Amino acid sequence: MRRSTGFMHAQRRPGVVASVVHRLSGLALTFFLPAHFLALGSALSGAGKFERFMNVTENPIIKVLEVGLVTSLAVHLACGLRILAIEFLDLRERTAATIAVCFAFALASGLLFLLNIQMGLS
Amino acid sequence: MGHAAMTGQALEVRIWRGGEAGAFQSFSLPTRPAQTVLDVVTEIQRGPEPDLAYRFACRVGMCGSCAMTVNGEPRWTCRTRVAAVAKKGMLTLEPLRNLPVVKDLVVDMTTFFEKWQKAKGVFEPGDAPPADFAIVKPDSAERQAADRGIECIGCGICYSACDVVAWDRDYLGPAALNRAWTLVNDVRDRGQAERLAAVVADGGCQSCHTHLSCTKFCPKSLAPTYAIAGLKRAAMRAAVKGTK
């Protein structure tokens, strides 16, 4: 029989959850950035190519991915600001509450973006 | 579950036996009023298992020697009541994580204390210390920063809880860095440049991922995470000033 591993238990701790979400959202953004630069770069070859690229983003699947992207960006921003506040401003936080605010901000950002898409479609 | 409700019920205890390789051994004990986890281990060692290895000394939360992993979380067992941590009448006791197991519940603390030395967690009086007492005002910012981290008992709970220590064996760990931070704030100390160099080297304060596990589990309610953040700020100030 094996001894229990620390990280499995650690998953319940808010600081660890925030750290994992912060890193995963950062990874998600690295997948987005090449596509973003590719889109901008396509404009160098003329408006037609850029427009064709933009038409791809009208695909509903891409729209759903964009909501995820905005949420990832917001959660990465909020978690990053939290770490900066701890390290540079000596913020002594109530960890669970602060992280809940970060996640709520990200979720609200994602939902607002979704609402914006809905209004654009209607 | 309250103490009265638990008293008299059977307590199922699983204890790690052996070294790094080993197995859990199960025991059934009666619960008792105000029983601590250390009481449980002692009852087993003085009863059915005289060769059960574990450490304790003061039994009152001062010496830091009785830390173990209790139901998956590192705790000081002399101040942890069974009623507060038993889950459905079950206790699982293991040695601290991130340190080599000597036998049963005893770990080898050598690396832990070697890292205190490596972090220059030792007062450095300099070549010509003043003959008279230094006057340190209790309300000075440095004194208050040192006060916040000074009550460490060296139990190793933060070191055991730290995920970064588990991933990077060279990481100095929360206790050593917390001690270094108290000395960074000691105006009498004359070894600041060497200490800062030690704590910003590989495996130093910049390796901390701010998981806050050390701060969550410290039985003395210290906050090594914020001490490490202080070291990061000190390193940043030194970098901006161009000092080594």
Pair of tokens at residue A86: 């701890």
Taking CA atoms, B51 is separated from B46, B93, B103, B135, in Å, by 9, 16, 10, 51
B98 has a chain A CB within 8 A of its CB = yes
For A29, counting Cβ atoms within 10 Å of its Cβ (0-12 exposed, 13-18 middle, 19+ buried), the class is middle
Cβ separation A9–B24 shorter than 8 A:
no
Is A28:A110 a contact under the CB 8 Å cutoff?
no
Does one domain contain both B100 and B119? no
Write out pLDDT tens, residues A30-83: 988 898 888 888 888 888 888 888 888 888 888 888 899 999 999 999 999 999
Is B33:B8 a contact under the CB 8 Å cutoff?
no
Contacts of B132 (CB under 8 A, 6+ apart): none
CATH of the domain at B71: 3.10.20.30
| Angle of CA points A33, A37, A42, to nearest 5° | 150
- Report helix angle B141-149 to B224-241, nearest 10: 140
Does one domain contain both B84 and B42? yes
Best B17, B169, B213, B221 member to test A by mutation, with max A CBs in 10 Å, is B213
Domain count, chain B: 2
Structural fold of domain A16-121? 3 helical TM bundles of succinate and fumarate reductases (1.20.1300)
Comparing B135 with A13, which gets the higher pLDDT?
Answer: B135
Q: What share of chain A is helix, strand, coil (3-state, %, to 5)?
A: 85, 0, 15
Alpha carbons within 13 A on the beta-carbon side of B224: 32
Does one domain contain both B143 and B65? no
Does one domain contain both B89 and B137? no
Last residue of a domain, one of B65, B89, B107: B107
Does one domain contain both B31 and B121? no
Query: Element (H or E) spanning B144, and its range?
Result: helix B141-149
CB-closest option in A4, A6, A86 to B229: A86
Cβ separation B210–A15 shorter than 8 A:
yes
Does one domain contain both B114 and B42? no
Ramachandran sector of residue B184 (left: φ over 0; alpha: ψ -120 to 50; beta: rest): alpha
Q: pTM for the whole thing?
A: 0.88
pLDDT in tens, chain B (244 residues): 444 445 567 899 999 999 999 999 999 999 999 999 999 999 999 999 999 999 999 999 999 999 999 999 999 999 999 999 999 999 999 999 999 999 999 999 999 999 999 999 999 999 988 889 989 999 999 999 999 999 999 999 999 999 999 999 999 999 999 999 999 999 999 999 999 999 999 999 999 999 999 999 999 999 999 999 999 999 999 999 886 5
Average pLDDT for residues A112-119, to the nearest whole number?
A: 85
Nearest CA of chain A to the CA of B61: how many Å?
24
Pair of tokens at residue B150: 């000074």
Does one domain contain both B121 and B95? no
Is B163:A6 a contact under the CB 8 Å cutoff?
yes
Q: Which residues of B80-100 are buried (b: 16+ CB within 10 A; e: fewer)?
A: bebbebbeeeebbbbbbbbbe
Does one domain contain both B93 and B164? no
CB-closest option in B72, B98, B212 to A4: B72
Last residue of a domain, one of B64, B88, B107: B107
- Give pLDDT, residue B67: 97
Does one domain contain both B179 and B102? no
What's the ipTM? Answer: 0.79
- Give pLDDT, residue B2: 45
- Give pLDDT, residue B3: 45
Does one domain contain both B79 and B130? no
Is B244:A99 a contact under the CB 8 Å cutoff?
no
Does one domain contain both B72 and B10? yes
Residue of A nearest to B94 (CA): A3
Residue B24: domain span: 3-107
Nearest CA of chain B to the CA of A89: how many Å?
9
B216 has a chain A CB within 8 A of its CB = yes
Please enumerate, as own/partner, the contacts of B194-199 that have beta carbons within 8 Å and a separation of 24 or more.
Answer: B194/B120, B194/B124, B195/B119, B195/B120, B195/B124, B196/B231, B196/B234, B196/B235, B196/B238, B197/B244, B198/B118, B198/B119, B198/B120, B199/B119, B199/B120, B199/B172, B199/B231, B199/B235
* B chain contacts of residue A6, beta-carbon cutoff 8 Å: 97-98, 160-161, 163, 166
Residue of B nearest to A4 (CA): B72
Is B222:B151 a contact under the CB 8 Å cutoff?
yes
Nearest CA of chain A to the CA of B57: how many Å?
26
Q: Which residues of B146-167 are buried (b: 16+ CB within 10 A; e: fewer)?
A: bebbbebbbbbbbbbbbbbbbe
Report the alpha-carbon distance of residue B36 to residue B43 in Å, rounded: 11
